[in-house]
Structure 1
Amino acid sequence: MRHLYLSGVAMLCASAAAPAWAQDAPPPGTPVAAAAPSAVGEVTVTAQRRAERQEDVPISITVQTGAQLEAAGVDNLRDLALVTPGLTLQAQGNFVQPALRGITTLVTGPGSDNPIALYIDGVYEGTQAGASIDLPDIDRIEVSKGPQGTLFGRNATGGAIQIFTRSPSFETTGSVSATAGLYDGAGTSRSSYDLGVKGFISGPLVADKVAASFSFAYRNVDGYSRNIVPGVLPAVGNNYDSDRMDWLRSYTLRGKLLFTPSDRVTILATAYYMQRSTDHGSVGLPSDGLTAASLYPDAIFGTRPWQYAYDAPDPLTKIQNYGGSLKIDIDTGIGTFTSTSAYTLSRYQERVDVDAAYSPQCLAAAPFTFACLAFKDEQPNDNFFQDFLFTSERMGRMTFLVGGNVFISNGKIPAWINDFTNGALPGAPQVVYPPLLIATTKVKTKAYGIFAQGDYEVVDGLTLTAGVRYSYERKTGFVTFFGAPYFEFADPHWDSVTPRVGIRYEISDRTNVYATFSKGFKSGILPILTVGPAVNPETVTAYEVGFKTAQAHYSLNLAGFYYDYKNLQIQSFTGTAIIPTNAASARIYGLEFDGTAQLTEGLSVRAGLTWMPKADFTDFPNAAGFGPPIGLGGLGAIIGDVSGDRLMRAPKISAVLSLNYVASVPGGELTVAPSLYYTSKYLPYDPFGVLVQGGYARVAAEISYQPDGSNWRFSLWGRNLTNTKSYSSTTISAGAARVSYEEPREIGLTIDYDF
């Protein structure tokens, strides 16, 4: 395996790559179309909120088309890291928490936003539950790295992820896809089916005036992990409906209407609904047996990947995301005015066995020890987003953008701890007592921003960029315990000015060098299910230099970056409350490259690598966490100085590599597309190294065949072919150091029909 890792890294260093598709740059405000995944050449992006060639944008950007994502086996946001160097995607339960170049968050709950801003069709998604999405109808995804403090602004200290779904067209078009996959039961996993279907259809309703599109997706996974309790204690087996775990049911619906009342006005209305039910992330095993239940003789817990045990409650996560948006583009002749209005809702429910074990004796002792806990909560969030943007045409040597936006969110988390009034079902019905805690926290967020950015070509080939954003945020917290009236416990507000200055020099028509200085601001946060002071905002000051070129047969993007990261927000989860604190400061620097090369007429290669030799706390003398030894109260509290130690979720090396080979064969065309993802070791949750994710590689491959003159396409694929055992979700509390695992090896067949 070590040879595989080193060989993969060597191949990456020998290649230069970047995801691309060939096309001319469209005017501002129009959709950017994608081409075949093997295309090399001009890339059009909207990282600066206008359509530009990727090599002209002084920002590190990774772009993926829907076809590229499908070939790499990426069908949800959590898998995006497999094709994006510098991006690590971990979760707490099913709260998706991206880390980009070492910047991330460990805090969950209402008002606790990701520092990697997520936009779906131009609409800001301000909740972590809303980020738990599938990707069935993707046109492209752009990942912009580094602080996006001016144009995207809110909480974009680490970068921005823009997801663009397929839009209506005035030509009838569509596709349908059916997938049958099999987890083969390798290692300690079990065999399971994975069935899915998705489709897209679009066409005109009124010629040249009104077009519509509709997409849908459904996926059903039987369960590739096992609850080991019934096998060890057959007498309690009847308490469980099934011993299968890591099951999934999800579906997505999205509809769009496109109106073009005149040549200068475009109106796009969107509505969507997504539902995802699973126990993945809500179930886990205690790493190295670190669970409060281990002190009790009846304890049963998993010790191997994909084998779990629990007593109560039956682990579950159910996520519902839905909403609508209205985007209006008006061409004024001197520029485009864009208004984006959206109302989105997310509904998150979870049941978690915090101690990750089966032990009725430990549950029975919980009123005295507060160690073995069953956590049940709901997290509804309602969000309103309004954005105004004016994008100028080129005026002599100058272009500019000005705008402003509003984000208003109402979120809450009602939670119940060990509510065993009717018994600790399903695993320990004999354990009966009233809830240890019933509490609800509400957080109301109001965020406002105004911004401007301009480019000025001083002399031919030399362009200066300057921008600034003013942000104002206010968060009001309310809490109630055991049904008492709500009371306000915090009402802080913060503001910030985040500038951006850059210089770009055009060496030739498609080759540029650049240097930028920028700042980012992440809003302050409040404690959850307890009373405490607000935590101050995070800030980052970033410097980046880079080189970009895009030629007929290859493209290459190089960047060096340095971050001064202050007031990091770190979470301590006690098992009953989420307590955030500021963790002083950190320093990050590294190098990055990505690109593509067309090696022969039918063979292209794409690769990328991020190297971060430094991503350390510079000053963190009072870090808090949990770890051994284990007492009656569970894992012991740790207080220590971790100054100089590595940040969480900041591997020194992350790399991607993919090949795309297209060949004519009798009767059709054959495409072979293998891919590799590698990451060095990192700390997934705590700074004390209680949990360590070792370095690993994941390999995927797809072989597809399309008959000549046919709309059908047949694909045989494999994901995680090396059956790598890597963490998908981690949490450390007094109850346990709990981990869940990514999906094991899977092979499958997909049949596509395009029309």
Structure 2
Amino acid sequence: MAQANRTTSFIRLFAAGSTAALALGIATPSFAQDAQAQADQAPTTGEIVVTAQFREQRLQDTPLSITAVDASLLASRNQTDISQIAAQAPNVQLTQMGGAFGSSMAAYIRGIGQYDFNPAYEPGVGIYVDDVYYATLTGSVMDLLDLDRVEVLRGPQGTLTGRNSIGGAIKLFSAKPTEGNSGTVEATYGSRQRVDLRATANFELTDGLYARISGVFKRQDGYVDQIDYGCANPDNELGIGGNASTPADCVVAKLGEKNYSGIRGSLRYNPSDTIDWIVTGDYTYENRTNAAGVMSATDPSKTGGVDFTCGKFCTYASWYMPEGGQATQAYYNPNTTKFEGWGVSSNLTVGISDSLKLQAITAYRKYNQIFGTDDDYTPYSLIGGSGFNDLDFKFFSQELRLNGQVGDNIDWTIGGFYNNQTSVYFTRQDIRYIVPIGVPSLFLQFQGNDPIKANSKAAFGTVIFHPTEAMTVTGGIRYTKEHKDYTFVRQAWDGGTLTDPFGVGALDGSKAVYDGDKVDWRLSLDYRFSPEVLAYATVSTGFKGGGVTARPFTKNQAINGTFDPETLHAYEVGLKTDLFDRRLRLNLSGFYNDYKNIQLPIGDCSALDGFEPGTDPFPCAAIQNAGDGEMYGLEAELSAHPVEGLDIDASLSWIDGKWKRIDTAAQGALRVTDPITTPAWRGSFGIQYKALLGNNAGSITPRFDLSYTGKQTIGRLINSGEFGPLQYNPSITLANARVTWKNEDENLAVSFEVQNLFDKYYYLPLRFAAVYAFVGTAYSNVGRPREWAVTVQKKF
């Protein structure tokens, strides 16, 4: 991923040359309608209808790189939350965060995205639920509850979605309330006391009025032991004592557990073909231990001569801080993450005439997240850092779309979008690693309670023109105006004036403001050579909004740290095919991204603080537009149904590129010669076969999945004032297996699954190394070990 290897001195906040020789029987051009007619004649590959261009279209008729997965395929792959989708989507990486980032997800598509949850920064990949924009990374690891389908759109979506998304978009679409009464109940039991419960019920209240309600509960023990160091090492040379309340086995907690519940209800009013109104409400609650982190790098010379590495699945992290500075007594920060959120939305579609349709999408969302951090991930807290975080978030959005037609050759959409969001980020930070051990007067300890306000206004339009029956030209434009302001509250823990040697206290009451606007556009040409083959070429732009530096150490860094949007010019060509009587679907795409004004963390704030380059005496954790680069890649997706009952799907992607510019202030952790994005290669393969058992015994379907991720950069470590060589996580291949029995009526199913079948040990791609220069430690979240589960599902 671009930016995955970015490090600062003080904050480390995180298929090639594929060709296809196709014997295409291309004679005279044929209509797109012919392809649809053929699709209606007993299709052999599943048809998914998408709405990426503001209207319903077959996936194979849409000139975009889209991975679309319906609910049945999600279930067959054992996928239950949004972060798992990336395993089968080319050049997509969705990583569950943890540690210093709470309940959030880093999302990257084609090397472009964002990892930092702070509301001062914009996501690089847009997440949408039923066309409603989800504005933050926090709380984005959503359960795939009662979905109809998932669409993963690769490339900038500046003219196509409710809020600009520079890297791409992930769109979740819930199952709509429909006619009739039906329901599903599902229960799962598995490794580490895993219990999943799901239920869905659909009701027809009266003619034209329907309701649907769904709920989920997930609970599972963690897989990394948090060990009380003093208990496990009673005679340690550092004199660290055990906690009297620690159990005899010295295990304080199990990190990486699950404890998630959610409910969603929808009411649909659909009295005729001209009115369709869906009102939805949802509630989510999560209360679990923090992510499964382990020590992944250590320098004992900085940790009192002790190597605090514990093992593959254990840690000595304590979330404990002794008294010192403003901490008049010792205390523990929580080793847990708690998230509670709810939202309501209204999606109203009105058919004004046969050729004119109005859609209004209104939404409100609110959440709160509380979590603690242990920055050094050791029990030796005299050198460490710890934090308490409490984030409140409110979001309102309104979108209007008017779809129309002019004759038989032109479809058009015009619309507008508005959102307003407010966050209040309370934090209490205890930072002891910046100064030498034993100088408590230089501890950096402060309390923040920062309000962050942002709004966005946009107007957009799209025209789809059919100059011939086989050719389509699509053009789109969007104007966006954005505002963001961040007020810094920096006080002593008792709410009084903060006095510190770094100048942090002088930030109190300062406000940083960003205002900007941007025009994006898209032009696409596609041509259907036959009912089986569609080719397209697209040029488009996108941007990630500007903002303000969220973690300044001085007032000047805050006021001068405002940065502009990063921008993208993207070029793409693609081919969509349905071959051999539609038993084989092969989609290919190639792209080139011209990526400018990239928002990078810098390690030298001299320019912001008013000093000569390299002479700033203050710490630096600012974000600036410090780089330019280019990326290019190839992608392939395959879906095959060679014989009745046998289904095969696969994907392969390759991406490469280079930096064109990196400002001097950002060249501590980065070099122009570094890869701009990794991994270069990703791939997946899945196969399943449904065998009928006969004698009314139903069917059995075994399935096997593989996913491959190439080696990936995790940044550099700094030692003695110098950054070391670039480091990598090695490549990893993961396998999942599942076998499902269904009765003859297919209303009862029993499944047995194994995830991470070969029990591979691996780190997730983002490493927290912000404190390595001072305390010699870095930690990573470790992937889940082999797990098994049994699921029983009953439909009514």
Q: For the superposition of Structure 1 and Structure 2, which TM-score range results when normalised by the shorter chain?
A: 0.7 to 0.9
Structure 2 distance, partners of 1:399, 1:686, is 51
Cα 1:497–1:145 change in 2 (3 A) is same
Deviations 1:418-445 (A, max 9, x none): 399xxxxxxxxxx999981212322111
Match of 1:233 in 2: 233
**What is the number of equivalent residue pairs in this alignment?**
682
Task: Measure the CA separation in 2 of the matches of 1:725 and 1:41.
Answer: 35
* Contact kept? 1:268, 1:328, Cα under 8 Å: yes
Question: Is the Cα contact below 8 Å between 1:225 and 1:308 reproduced in 2?
Answer: no
Name the structure 1 match of 2:407. Answer: 395
- Once the two structures are TM-superposed, the CA of residue 67 in structure 1 deviates from its matched residue by 2.0
1:615 corresponds in structure 2 to 657
- 2:622 paired with 1:579: yes
Structure number, greater radius of gyration: 2
1:322 alignment partner in structure 2: 342
Partner letter of residue 214 of structure 1?
Answer: I
1:130: how far off? 3.1
Q: Which letter does structure 2 place at the counterpart of 1:62?
A: T
Q: 1:308 to 1:63 in 2, by over 3 A?
A: farther
Q: State how far apart, in whole Å, the 1-side matches of 2:715 and 2:130 are.
A: 31
Q: Tell me the distance in 2 between the aligned counterparts of 1:573 and 1:174.
A: 56
Determine whether 1:734 maps to 2:764: no
What is residue 296 of structure 1 aligned with on the other side?
304
Contact persistence 2:281–2:345 (CA under 8 A): yes
Distance across 2 between alignment mates of 1:488 and 1:621: 27
Counting only pairs closer than 5 Å after superposition, residues 121-200 of structure 1 correspond to structure 2 as 121-152=130-161, 154-182=163-191, 192-200=192-200
Assess, with a 3 A threshold, how the Cα gap between structure 1 residues 395 and 100 changes in structure 2: closer, same or farther: same
- Find the counterpart in structure 1 of residue 329 from structure 2: none
Contact between 2:133 and 2:162, CA under 8 Å: does it hold in 1?
no
1:673 aligns with 2:703: yes
The equivalent residue for 1:309 is: 317
Give the counterpart of 1:595 among 638, 644, 658.
Answer: 638
Structure 1 position 712 matched with structure 2 position 748: yes
Partner residue of 1:275 out of 268, 277, 285: 285
Which residue of structure 2 lines up, in the alignment, with residue 254 of structure 1?
Answer: 264
| Selected match of 1:81 from 82, 86, 89 | 86
Matched, 1:745 2:750: no
Contact conserved, 1:110 with 1:412, CA < 8 A, in 2?
A: no
Q: CA 1:138 to 1:689, structure 2 compared with 1: closer, same or farther past 3 Å?
A: farther
Q: Cα deviation per residue 1:503-548 (whole Å; 9 max; x = unaligned)?
A: 1111012421110000001101222243421121110000000101
Post-superposition shift, 1:244? 2.3
State the alpha-carbon separation in 2 of the partners of residues 15 and 707 from structure 1: 42
Q: For 1:651-662, what aligned pairs fall within 5 Å after superposition? A: 651-662=679-690
Deviation at 1:173, TM superposition (A): 1.1
- Counterpart contact for 2:105–2:141, Cα < 8 Å: yes
Alignment-mate amino acid for residue 322 of structure 1:
W
Q: Which runs of 5+ in 2 are unaligned?
A: 1-14, 23-31, 34-41, 235-240, 321-332, 433-439, 498-507, 605-617, 718-723
How far apart, CA to CA, are the structure 2 residues paired with 1:525 and 1:228? 40
Amino acid at match of 1:137: D
RMSD: 2.9
Range with bigger deviation, 704-713 or 235-244: 235-244
**1:228 Cα deviation from its structure 2 partner:** 2.8
Question: 1: CA distance between counterparts of 2:86 and 2:431?
Answer: 38
Between the aligned partners of 2:750 and 2:70, the Cα distance in structure 1 is: 19
- Partner-residue secondary structure (3-state), 1:110: coil
Query: Aligned pair in 2 of structure 1 residues 640, 193: CA closer, same or farther (>3 Å)?
Result: closer
Check whether the contact 1:179–1:196 (CA below 8 A) recurs between aligned residues.
yes
Contact 1:354–1:373 under 8 Å retained in 2: yes
Structure 2 counterparts to residues 29-68 of structure 1, below 5 A? 40-68=45-73
Residues 308 and 252 of structure 1: CA distance in aligned 2, closer, same or farther (over 3 Å): farther
Q: Distance in 2 between matches of 1:146 and 1:205?
A: 42
**Code of the aligned partner of 2:418:** V
Distance in 2, matches of 1:194 and 1:524, equals 42
Alignment check: 8 A CA contact 1:673 1:703 kept: yes
Which residues of 2 match residues 362-401 of structure 1 at below 5 A? 363-364=381-382, 366=383, 372-393=384-405, 395-401=407-413
**1:525 counterpart residue number:** 547
**Deviations, residues 88-135 of structure 1 (Å, cap 9, x unaligned):** 123442321111111122433113221111100110000111312222
1:726 CA displacement: 2.7
Question: 1:442 corresponds to which letter in structure 2?
Answer: P
Pick which of 114-123 and 241-250 moved more.
241-250
Give the 3 Å change call, closer, same or farther, for CA 351–590 of structure 1 in structure 2: same
Judging changes above 3 Å, is the alpha-carbon distance between structure 1 residues 121 and 153 closer, same or farther for their aligned structure 2 residues? closer
**Contact (CA 8 Å) 2:385, 2:431: kept in 1 or not?**
no
Alpha-carbon deviations, 1:230-253, whole Å to 9, x = none?
562366154447342222210010
Structure 2 residue 217 is the aligned partner of structure 1 residue 218: yes
Q: 1:751 Cα deviation (Å)?
A: 0.2
The answer as to whether partners of 1:265 and 1:328 remain within 8 angstroms in 2 is: yes
Q: Is the contact between residue 110 and residue 442 of structure 1 (CA under 8 Å) also seen in structure 2?
A: no
In the superposition, relative to structure 1, how do residues 465 and 488 fare at CA in structure 2: closer, same or farther (>3 Å)? Answer: same
Name which of structure 1's ranges 259-268 and 169-178 shifts more when overlaid on structure 2: 259-268
Contact 1:301 1:310 in 2 (8 A): no
Distance 2:685 2:648 in 1: 7
Seen in structure 2, the aligned counterparts of structure 1 residues 137 and 581 have a Cα distance that, compared at 3 Å, is same
Aligned pair 1:540/2:568, yes or no?
A: yes
Tell me the distance in 2 between the aligned counterparts of 1:484 and 1:548.
64
Rounded to whole Å, the distance in 2 between the matches of 1:79 and 1:337 is: 35
Match of 1:565 in 2: 595
Q: Tell me the amino acid that sits aligned with residue 622 of structure 1.
A: T
CA contact (8 A) 1:691 1:737 kept: no
Counterpart of 2:113 in 1: which secondary structure?
Answer: coil
Moved more, 692-701 or 90-99: 90-99
Is 1:177–1:751's contact at 8 Å kept on the other side of the alignment? yes
Q: Give percent identity, aligned residues only.
A: 25
The one-letter code sitting in structure 1 at the alignment partner of 2:401 is: L
Code of the residue aligned with 2:340 in structure 1: it is Q
- What CA distance in whole angstroms lies between the structure 2 residues aligned with 1:92 and 1:690? 22
Aligned partner of 2:295 in structure 1 is 286
Change beyond 3 A, Cα 1:63–1:392: same
SS of residue matched to 1:47 = coil
In structure 2, give the amino acid aligned to 1:620. Answer: I
Change (3 A) 1:290 1:46: farther
TM-score, L = length of structure 2: 0.81
Q: For the structure 1 residues 573 and 67, does the alpha-carbon distance in structure 2 shift closer, same or farther, using more than 3 Å as the test?
A: farther
In 2 relative to 1, CA 223–141 (structure 1 residues): closer, same or farther, beyond 3 Å?
A: same
Cα deviation 1:453-483 (Å, max 9, x = unaligned): 1111112312111110001001011011114
In 1, Cα distance between the equivalents of 2:595 and 2:308? 42
Q: In structure 2, what is the Cα distance between the partners aligned to 1:269 and 1:573?
A: 48
Larger deviation: 215-224 or 720-729? Answer: 720-729
TM-score, normalised to structure 1, is 0.85
Q: Which letter does structure 1 place at the counterpart of 2:542?
A: G
1:717/1:491 CA distance change after superposition, 3 Å: same
